[in-house]
Amino acid sequence: MRCEQKTRLTVFMLILLMTGIFLGHGSAFSTVNLLMGQSVYVPVYSHIYHGDKETPFDLTATLSIRNTDPKQEIFLTSVEYFDSNGNFLKNYVEKTIKLKNLASIRYIIKSKDKSGGSGAKFIVRWESKEPVNPPLVEAIMISTSSQQGISFTSRGQAIKE
């Protein structure tokens, strides 16, 4: 009897799995929230610290903005860069930029640019004329120095819709 209950439970779980009851976050079948604009916070690091003496390791940072919508364009209204203390440094968008469907754009912070500090960040503002897949906004930090190499990414977080 115990074996029969286990078999029934296994069959029930398989049926649930096949019908999509357990499809969750990150699945190819997840629901996509279509939006008409956002402000996205993206952490970026001009350097990180290493060793007991907290020696800075300089990094080149690339902000990447990718329009993930296969049919619609989006518009970048601002790409603002702030330092570790939250002070505004620069807006990389002088006038609205149209980003075609599935297109991408990048902005570079050179390794010698120390203005942002280790707690720098971007605020990216985008909008669209109709609901679209939100863009993928991330920063890629990389450096190779003294036979050392390091690279990592940080993903943007929507802070306002």
Asked if residue 17 is part of any domain, the answer here is: no
* pTM for the model: 0.79
Q: Is residue 29 part of a domain?
A: no
Name which residue leads in pLDDT, 146 or 115.
115
pLDDT tens figures, 76-103? 999 999 999 999 999 999 999 999 999 9
Q: How confident is the model at residue 17 (pLDDT cuts 50, 70, 90)?
A: low
> Is 22 part of a structural domain of the chain?
no
Q: Per-residue pLDDT for 1 more than 60?
A: no
Domains in the chain, number: 1
CATH of the domain at 118: 2.60.290
More confident residue, 28 or 41: 41
Q: What is the pLDDT of residue 57?
A: 84
Residue 81 domain-assigned (yes or no)? yes
Q: How many CB atoms lie within 10 A of CB 54?
A: 8
For 68, the domain range is: 34-160
For 30-67, what is each residue's pLDDT tens digit?
677 999 999 999 999 988 888 888 888 889 999 999 99
Asked if residue 26 belongs to a domain, the reply is no
Instruction: State the pLDDT at residue 11.
Output: 59
